[in-house]
């Protein structure tokens, strides 16, 4: 009996060969270099994750240039709140000393983020004021020094 290869078989073989080569070429370009070095992941991601960019300096760094403010703060109720809680990440400013590199909070809403009336917070934990009643129309800083809130400004 004559061995008969149906005509579609060679065509399928060619089609498969093309798809497999395309797959191998695509894989070569798409799989990151260090993939599989230690396991089923990109090995370089370990290094990326171990080197995040630094944003916070820690308040000890602020004292080098702003000891006066720390001395004020230490006298009053905000003493336990670190500088960067209110001023945001300060690493860039510590390196540059530029005013533009540090956030200077302002407005009633800012102080209100901690002190606004909030039924979910016990009043024994933090003093709360009603933003709609407490000296409306004036900025908190006009009366309270943010670094020494009970030393009222005249
Ligand atoms: C190497 C010295 C230095 C260090 C460290 C430093 N500062 Fe300053 N800071 C300055 C100088 C100088 C100015 C005044 C810049 C100006 O007026 O142009 C300033 C200004 C500021 C201002 C006022 C910005 C404004 O818009 O007026 C804030 C707020 C401030 N610093 C917060 C911080 C905090 C928070 C830290 C710690 C994360 C810090 N600083 C660390 C030198 C420093
Ligand atoms: C409770 C929030 C809060 C904390 C904590 C805080 N600040 Fe401020 N700071 C403010 C606000 C609000 C202003 C803006 C005051 C204004 O505009 O009158 C300010 C202003 C400043 C200024 C500008 C100059 C001035 O006296 O107005 C500097 C410098 C500064 N802060 C540094 C610091 C440093 C350094 C620390 C930590 C030792 C710190 N701050 C902690 C809220 C805070
Ligand atoms: C990150 C949260 C936070 C922010 C922002 C903040 N405070 Fe405070 N404040 C506190 C804490 C904590 C205390 C100490 C606990 C207490 O007595 O409420 C306090 C205490 C006070 C007190 C004394 C309350 C009392 O009866 O003893 C005043 C006044 C005050 N803050 C004013 C301000 C003003 C004005 C601003 C904005 C410049 C501000 N605070 C921003 C957390 C904050
Ligand atoms: C016109 C001046 C003035 C302004 C503006 C002002 N305060 Fe006061 N604040 C006072 C005085 C005076 C007291 C003490 C008497 C009282 O409780 O009213 C006080 C008390 C407080 C207390 C303690 C409340 C308590 O029950 O002991 C907090 C917290 C406070 N203020 C936060 C703020 C915040 C936040 C702002 C801005 C949204 C602000 N204040 C704006 C004058 C002011």
User: 117 CB less than 6 Å from ligand 1?
Assistant: no
Note the pTM of the prediction, 2 decimals. 0.86
Given the CA of residue 111, which atom of ligand 4 is nearest to it? 35
What's the CA-to-centroid distance between 139 and ligand 4, angstroms?
Answer: 10
Closest CA to 102 of 57, 40, 138: 57
pLDDT for res 123? 86
State the 10-residue block means of pLDDT for the chain, 154 residues long: 85 96 96 93 93 93 96 94 97 97 96 94 91 95 94 73
pLDDT for res 5? 87
Tell me the C-alpha distance between 65 and 4, whole Å: 91
- Nearest bound ligand to CA 90? 1
Tell me the C-alpha distance between 59 and 126, whole Å: 22
Tell me the C-alpha distance between 149 and 110, whole Å: 14
The four Cα atoms 85, 87, 91, 97 give a dihedral, to 10 degrees, of -150
10 exposure class (CB count in 10 Å sphere: 0-12, 13-18, 19+): exposed
What's the CA-to-centroid distance between 92 and ligand 1, angstroms?
Answer: 10
Chain length of the chain: 154
pLDDT for res 142? 94
What's the CA-to-centroid distance between 14 and ligand 2, angstroms?
Answer: 73
Tell me the C-alpha distance between 119 and 115, whole Å: 12
Tell me the C-alpha distance between 96 and 94, whole Å: 6
């Amino acid at each position: 009996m004559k061995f008969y290869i149906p005509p579609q078989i060679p065509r399928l073989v060619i089609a498969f060969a093309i798809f497999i080569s395309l797959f191998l070429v695509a894989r070569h370009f798409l799989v990151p270099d260090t993939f599989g070095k230690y396991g089923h992941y990109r090995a370089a991601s370990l290094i990326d994750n171990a080197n995040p960019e630094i944003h916070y300096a820690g308040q000890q760094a602020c004292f080098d240039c702003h000891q006066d403010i720390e001395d004020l703060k230490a006298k009053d109720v905000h003493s336990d709140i670190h500088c960067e809680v209110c001023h945001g990440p300060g690493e860039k400013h510590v390196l540059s000393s530029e005013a533009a590199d540090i956030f200077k909070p302002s407005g009633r809403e800012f102080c209100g983020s901690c002190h606004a009336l909030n039924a979910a917070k016990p009043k024994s934990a933090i003093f709360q004021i009603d933003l709609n009643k407490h000296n409306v129309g004036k900025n908190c800083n006009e009366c309270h020094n943010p670094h020494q809130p009970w030393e009222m400004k005249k």
